[in-house]
Structure 1
């Protein structure tokens, strides 16, 4: 990541948003889509290091297990008076039902979309401190609509960031990217939650394309600069198009399976607009698009759930002793799973 020396005011705003945390105002300059919406073709990241060193002692040689999910909870305003979902329960009640499903499935990390303040407050009450979320209220009461939540007895926050993504009519929204550390294995990984615009307020294909360009560029930048695993969750409002662009533009694989060999692109059927992607060192299993009774009466989306496993973290003591001399100067990106 690159520091941002261009704007003291930006640093001041970021500092205020993060409520006094010690900040480095950073910017990722990665080209997104070409054409209209030049601002949407940039990735802007604000970073706050919160746990630079592990708070627990990792177990050497331990694989990392994580149950990961993506869920569009159907924003509370859809079922408020005047909303477009007449007869549905309130956002608060629907979130109570969804939280029970999240907990029953043992979800460790989840990307949430349309997660509005009434639902955020309900989630906090129902989970009673067992989950942390980002951004929470750091961006105001409307800012948590896209959030990442994680179990605090499994993962700890290393840094919290955002990416600018074009939404309805090209309006720029910040969407979260967090770097988490597994408390048992010491593995670090990036998790994000995106919501690309639907056609509900006009044809939005060009904005989805720009959003996808940015998401692909972000994955490649994080992979190249850190070598760490990256996970993308979200409601992308595209099926085959998004799958094929993400898997051809990055080394990511879908939790649902599928194939893209550069000539043929074939996502697994049935295909949904809600996705989980992960770096290729991930072994995915147990994929399900859950449309159980509580989910059906709470949201118009399935709850996407999968189990992910990462190999043990590579540490210097795991590396073989060089048999030749002198030792070559390291080049290139870090090896995946090197913290």
Structure 2
């Protein structure tokens, strides 16, 4: 080859060919620039940088996992979220300031005596059980026990043992008939004292011996498991010759249901010391007025007794009092007197709120020579207490207590 001849592309030895393909080799005009091939050595700086970054990130993660940041407030709730339209500052303030928890006021329980005084001012009393909205049924009786003075001495009643010999049978009779409330007449001093001794575990009594020996003869008894005495009072009733004799009425409250009922027990004058109709009519007016007064607030009223009269008593008393008898005597709205076909001198009566059923005269007392009067029983039903919804349950130092209107 001539020294002046330019070399041709692709010619020459390996050395010149390698040189022609290097970066320093001249390019032909218009030919694209060729990139040098990538090698592992060329990527070392980038690999080193990535490794460093990974090491740093790992260190941060370990640090964060070992010591987590404690929150300064509880988890966010709907109430913690900023309200609509609140700006960034408002939201930041909400997140930065935790809402203080509500303080629960301490409840200080009163003693039962303190609660009793508080509710007494409101006309309410404590009851043993929660009030009920159901009627209450129970057995009522009336019995003239034949007073002790009638079975001793020269003029004693023939065929009857002394009062104390008859008393156990009379007490057992009340128990056998499941009597819850009874009016007893002619319960003289030895009988009243004996009744308390023999039946005191089952029955309570008013007045019994509470007011002294002069006022025992007309007493009311009630089963302790059923009733508690709220009030006991006496009223002067004209007796023989018009002389006043104190006769009782009581307000009882049922232990289980809270029902309340007034019960009166009377013995009007008989004709044994001469005609006594005028004294009976005078007694009936007082007793009828008392029935209306006691029942004026809606409390049911029961009256038992030996009223020593038949139709005249039934018609006069039911007209004056508005009561009706367990055996059907009543005065209707037109003023007509309705009486049963057979009547006795012993009666059980109730105000319009009281319903009667199963009226039964039982002459077993005569058959067994326990008394010269039959024992009369009936089932009385009281309506649900009107004020039951107004009762209140209060915490006390001795547990929760119920209070209801009187």
Q: TM-score range by the shorter chain?
A: 0.7 to 0.9
Q: Is the 8 A contact 2:140 2:179 kept in 1?
A: yes
Which of the pair has the greater relative contact order for Cα pairs under 8 Å at 6+ separation? 1
Q: Out of 199, 209, 212, which is 1:140 matched to? A: 212
Matches within 5 A, 1:40-51: none
Greater per-residue helix proportion: 2
Are 2:312 and 1:241 equivalent residues in the alignment? yes
Matches within 5 A, 1:1-339: 53-224=125-296, 226-261=297-332, 262-292=334-364, 297-315=369-387, 317=389, 339=406
Q: Is the 8 A contact 1:283 1:309 kept in 2?
A: yes
TM-superposed deviation, 1:55: 4.6
Q: Which ranges of structure 1 fall in alignment gaps of 5 or more residues?
A: 1-51, 320-336
Greater per-residue strand proportion: 1
> Which residue is equivalent to 2:48?
none
State the aligned residue count. Answer: 270
2:179 aligns to what SS in structure 1? coil
Describe the shift of the 1:236–1:102 C-alpha distance in structure 2 as closer, same or farther (beyond 3 A).
Answer: same
Once the two structures are superposed, what CA deviation does each residue of 1:205-245 show, in whole Å capped at 9, x if it has no partner? 11111101100111111122x32111110000011011111
Q: TM-score, normalised by structure 1?
A: 0.75
2:125 aligns to what SS in structure 1? coil
Describe the shift of the 1:118–1:281 C-alpha distance in structure 2 as closer, same or farther (beyond 3 A).
Answer: same
Please give the alpha-carbon distance, in whole angstroms, between the structure 2 residues aligned to 1:183 and 1:309: 16
Q: TM-score, normalised by structure 2?
A: 0.63
TM-superposed deviation, 1:288: 0.6
Describe the shift of the 1:302–1:257 C-alpha distance in structure 2 as closer, same or farther (beyond 3 A).
Answer: same
Please give the alpha-carbon distance, in whole angstroms, between the structure 2 residues aligned to 1:123 and 1:105: 17
Q: Which runs of 4+ in 1 moved over 6 A?
A: none
TM-superposed deviation, 1:263: 4.4
Q: Which ranges of structure 2 fall in alignment gaps of 5 or more residues?
A: 1-123, 392-403
